[in-house]
Amino acid sequence: MTDMGLEIKDAPEEPFEKIGERRVEAVEELKVINLSEDDEKTTKIGTTMRPSTEEHLIQFLKKNKEVFAWTMTDLHGISPDVITHKLSVNPSAKPPNGKWRLCIDFTDLNKACPKDPFPLPRIDILVDSTSGCEMLSFLDAYQGYNQIPLAPEDQEKASFVTDQGVFCYNVMPFGLKNAGATYQRLVNHMFQNQIGRNMEVYIDDMLVKSEKEQDHIKDLEAIKAQVLADFVVELAYDEASISTPTWSVYVDGSSTSTGSGAGVALESPQGDKFEYAIKLDFPSSNNEAEYEAFLAGCELALAAGAKRIVIYSDSQLVVNQVQGSYEARDEKMAKYFSKAKNMLGKFEEASVVQVSRANNATADQLAKLASSMAAIRSRKIIFISSERAAIEEPEEVICIDPTL
């Protein structure tokens, strides 16, 4: 208890929602500055500093604008050799059926995870540490949560279902218990030589402090040069040494007198398979149906997050046109060809391989299923499964009461 009768409590363990809802406002008016010709690359600075300090600060920010993560492509992730987030689920907390239910609500999952005892900084101590400082810079690194890898053995537990299939997080998502402690471990490692001297860090909220206003640029340069640059060089992923996994995409089209359809079978690098039967509600030739399947396969692969794909098709025309061996002379085929080349350009790497129909059986079956659906239309059909042939006699079972 303090002299004023106010109890000082430990900082909350999980800051995600509650702290985010009560963000404090700046004590001085802020103004927006552009760091480049792109109007979207902006930040805010205070308006009460000396003009010379403001000029130096703006020059420093523009010079180091590459430090900011402006887009998702600027976020390269943290190496699992540095840190991973582990759930440490209590084995006795498994669901009764032994399987994890797939949902994105982590309430039950968090209940099954023991609390991480790693201590978070006390807010009151952090505030006191800034006393007497003439200048402060605040950084919000909330995007760092999704850069910490989730332990491979725990990814299944963070699965969720969408209309495109079942997916799982391979990085630490918001809402997981102990995520704050994991993040604090990371930043303590990153800024071990600065924390307490010219920097303070509470999970994803970072503060650079200077006792003298004229020293603030030097402190910012020290943080960037001695910590951030070294961390990027030594600890971030070596992208050149990491090969992006390749997805397999099997496609086939079918056109009959009753209707047309497309079949797509996706196979992830981990061996997961996703099958799609697509009914085409418009007239199309067999070659057009083949192209529709090709384009649908590309779109589904993009939606699944694939960056490298190999497309397998048994259509000689489509494969040879896409590879450049055949020329698309027909106006409609030329449009399909142009669309296909545009879709392939959205991947880091894409190749097309012609296979026999026997080696494309799954996509062929899906395409025929989809084309047959057109003939069914709105008719009501009851599907019945028969366990034995009609000429087989059912077995007679005699029940004996064991109490007799």
389 in a structural domain: no
SS3 389: coil
Residues 259 and 220 in one domain: no
For residue range 37-51, what is the model confidence (pLDDT) as tens digits? 766 788 888 888 888
303 in a structural domain: yes
13 in a structural domain: no
Residues 165 and 259 in one domain: no
Contact between residue 326 and residue 320 where contact means Cβ atoms under 8 Å apart? yes
Residue 184, Cα to own-chain centre: how many angstroms?
A: 22
Residues 48 and 130 in one domain: yes
403 in a structural domain: no
Q: Which of 215, 236, 198 is nearest to 207 (CA)?
A: 198
The pLDDT, as a whole number, for residue 10 is 43
How far apart, in Å, are the Cα atoms of 387 and each of 126, 392, 395, 398, 403?
Answer: 71, 10, 13, 21, 33
CATH number assigned to the domain comprising residue 251: 3.30.420.10
Residues 104 and 28 in one domain: yes
Residues 192 and 302 in one domain: no
Residues 189 and 318 in one domain: no
Q: Which residues of the chain have pLDDT under 70?
A: 1-27, 38-39, 70, 72-77, 79-82, 85-86, 88-105, 224-244, 374-386, 388-391, 394-404
Residues 160 and 196 in one domain: yes
The pLDDT, as a whole number, for residue 33 is 84
The pLDDT, as a whole number, for residue 91 is 58
Which of 240, 272, 287 is the last residue before a domain boundary?
Answer: 240
The pLDDT, as a whole number, for residue 17 is 42
Total Cβ atoms within 10 A of residue 306 = 22
Q: Which domain holds residue 91?
A: 18-240
The pLDDT, as a whole number, for residue 305 is 87
How far apart, in Å, are the Cα atoms of 172 and each of 80, 188, 330, 378?
Answer: 12, 18, 50, 46
Which of 212, 240, 268 is the last residue before a domain boundary?
Answer: 240
185 in a structural domain: yes
Residues 104 and 207 in one domain: yes
Tokens encoding 183:
């993040």
336 in a structural domain: yes
Residues 99 and 58 in one domain: yes
Residue 13, Cα to own-chain centre: how many angstroms?
A: 25
Q: CA 88 to CA 77: how far, in whole Å?
A: 22
Residues 268 and 144 in one domain: no
For residue range 336-347, what is the model confidence (pLDDT) as tens digits? 999 999 999 999
Which of 240, 269, 301 is the last residue before a domain boundary?
Answer: 240
115 in a structural domain: yes
SS3 182: helix
Q: CA 199 to CA 203: how far, in whole Å?
A: 13
Residues 61 and 193 in one domain: yes
For residue range 167-206, what is the model confidence (pLDDT) as tens digits? 887 888 777 888 888 888 888 887 887 888 888 888 888 8
The pLDDT, as a whole number, for residue 296 is 93
7 in a structural domain: no
- The total of structural domains in the chain comes to 2
SS3 358: helix
Residues 89 and 162 in one domain: yes
